[in-house]
């Protein structure tokens, strides 16, 4: 919990402010899980702070709720191409992906339980970035990822905007987005490794 809370503060997730008149706050909660290794042994204990998005009000503290999900047909076509050409397929995990999305709306949340200082317990968190659980979190994250990929020379497919492609004289690269999971494949492994490094650096 301390590691998660510290990461949120480093990412400037919120500012502590007085709740403006006429505004309501949404709740939050801690979710715990155990990450296991392939052999079943414990890798680490993980805590995540999640906003109670069901407290949000439509068209008041959220508008867009689009979640980027690649179409099953697109997955089958890209994987068929990759397998037929013996391309390596890699999964890219962006650490705390949703926390990279910038909020356009004003959202106020209660302070996380276990980290409330008595002297400022009356203050609330004005969110600057999209916390897990917010209804607009997947949309905010996708906007940020979209900007990064366009800057890197990718094009979003018209038939499926969760498919990104980049074609040059030296390489062909496909990138599939399923919410906060990313698959990358192409004919040049070194280019893919460079891409993964660039994205990790961009979202670090």
pLDDT, tens only, 119-162: 999 999 999 988 888 888 888 888 889 999 999 999 999 999 99
Between CA 190 and CA 204 the distance in angstroms is 21
Report the pLDDT averaged over residues 13-25: 92
pTM strictly above 0.75: no
pLDDT, tens only, 63-85: 656 667 899 999 999 999 999 99
Please report which residue ranges of 17-136 form alpha helices under DSSP H.
72-84
69: left (phi over 0), alpha (psi -120 to 50) or beta: beta
- pLDDT for the residue 65: 60
Instruction: Compute the 3-state secondary structure of the chain and give helix, strand, coil in percent, each to the nearest 5.
Output: 30, 30, 40
Q: Which of 25, 4, 8, 45 is nearest to 125 (CA)?
A: 25
In this structure, the strands spanning 181-186 and 42-51 are: unpaired
CB contact at 8 A, 165 and 185: no
Beta-carbon-side half-sphere exposure of residue 184 (alpha carbons within 13 Å): 22
Query: Distances in Å between the alpha carbon of 163 and those of 10, 29, 40, 144?
Result: 31, 33, 34, 15
End-to-end CA separation in angstroms for the chain: 20
């Amino acid at each position: 919990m301390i590691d998660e809370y510290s990461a949120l503060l480093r990412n400037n997730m919120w500012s502590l402010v007085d709740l403006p008149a006429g505004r309501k706050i949404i709740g939050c909660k801690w979710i715990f899980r155990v990450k296991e290794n392939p052999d079943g042994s414990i890798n680490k204990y993980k805590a995540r702070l999640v906003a109670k998005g069901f407290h949000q009000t439509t068209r008041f503290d959220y508008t867009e709720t689009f979640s980027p999900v690649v179409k099953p047909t697109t997955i089958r076509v890209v994987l068929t191409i990759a397998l037929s050409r013996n391309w390596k397929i890699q999964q890219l995990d962006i650490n705390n992906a949703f926390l990279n999305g910038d909020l356009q709306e004003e959202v106020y949340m209660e302070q996380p339980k276990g980290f409330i200082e008595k002297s400022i317990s009356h203050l609330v968190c004005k969110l600057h970035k999209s916390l897990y659980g917010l209804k607009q979190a997947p949309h905010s994250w996708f906007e940020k990822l979209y900007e990064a990929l366009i800057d890197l020379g990718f094009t979003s497919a018209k038939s499926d905007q969760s498919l990104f492609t980049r074609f040059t004289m030296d390489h062909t690269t496909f990138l599939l987005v399923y919410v906060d999971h990313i698959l990358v494949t192409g004919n040049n492994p070194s280019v893919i490794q460079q891409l993964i490094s660039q994205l990790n650096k961009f979202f670090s």
